[in-house]
Amino acid sequence: MTSLTSPDPLTTTPSAAGRKPVISRDDVIAAAIKLLGPHRSVSSLSLREVAREAGIAPNSFYRQFRDMDELAVALIEMAGSSLRQIIGEARQRARTNRSVVRGSVEAFMAQLRSDDRLLHILLREGTVGSDAFKQAVDRQLNFFEEELQRDLIRLAAANRTGLYEPALTAKAITRLVFAMGATAMDLPADKLPELSEQLVVMVRMILTGTRALAANPRELQADLP
């Protein structure tokens, strides 16, 4: 998990002279995350609400962010890098074990249920809110796709199998996992294992398909299961 308290030298003002800040950007971010839930998206939060939760005056918010959009983008980026780290670790672990797919899917689902709401942000804010919002989410999804693609290529080489359009394969898997994750967000916890299992099979359908197509691209023409 990305720490909420480590200062970011790029965003924290140097304050060469004058008083040291007692409120940090991260305090405000933490307050916003606390307010998120199954029925609250970032775009539905008000500035005053976040300020209230952070224990500061509404106008003090402006010392940290230009507006709510800037806060939202910060949240999205934090969520993306956190998720990539977690899935990356899951892949490392799985590589020495057995199933990369199952390991990654389960790490994803576990993260969905974790206390910090970061993944929820990525899943939800992609379709609503300002352009800045959507672009930020899309950027994170692209990072994710790139890492997945690299992994797919490496593993395909190791197993001496082919990949029909690795980029497209990675994109399909990423989008499908996120779409299913968005559904899972609102499910009771006991339905999750079943959904995990479904998702594992779905991902393997894509993997089996891309491998079969690499072996025999003419199957692409046969327009039919």
* Residues found near DNA in the complex (CB under 7 A): 13, 15-23, 46-49, 56-64, 67-68
Q: Is 128 in the site for its own copies (CB under 8 A)?
A: yes
Q: Token digits for 214? A: 């690499």
| 100 interface partner picked from its own copies, DNA, none, CB below 5 to 8 A per type | its own copies
Based on its alpha-carbon atoms, the radius of gyration of the chain, rounded to whole angstroms, reads: 20
Under 8 Å between Cβ of 45 and 35? yes
Q: Token digits for 20? A: 């040291």
Q: Which of 131, 188, 189, 190 binds its own copies (CB under 8 A)?
A: 131
Q: Which of 155, 188, 192, 194 binds its own copies (CB under 8 A)?
A: 155
| 13 interface partner picked from DNA, its own copies, none, CB below 5 to 8 A per type | DNA
Q: Phi-psi category of 160—alpha, beta or left, where left has phi over 0 and alpha has psi -120 to 50?
A: left
What is the distance between the alpha carbons of residues 10 and 15, in angstroms, rounded to a whole number? 13
Q: Is 54 in the site for its own copies (CB under 8 A)?
A: no
Under 8 Å between Cβ of 206 and 176? yes
Of residues 194-223, which lie at the interface with its own copies (CB under 8 A)? 198, 201-202, 204-213, 219-220, 222-223
Nearest Cα to Cα of residue 148 among 119, 120, 183, 108 = 108
Q: Which residues of this chain interact with its own copies, rule CB under 8 A? A: 39, 41, 43-44, 98-102, 123-124, 126-128, 130-131, 134, 138, 152, 155-156, 159, 161-165, 168-169, 171-172, 175-176, 178-180, 182-183, 186, 198, 201-202, 204-213, 219-220, 222-225
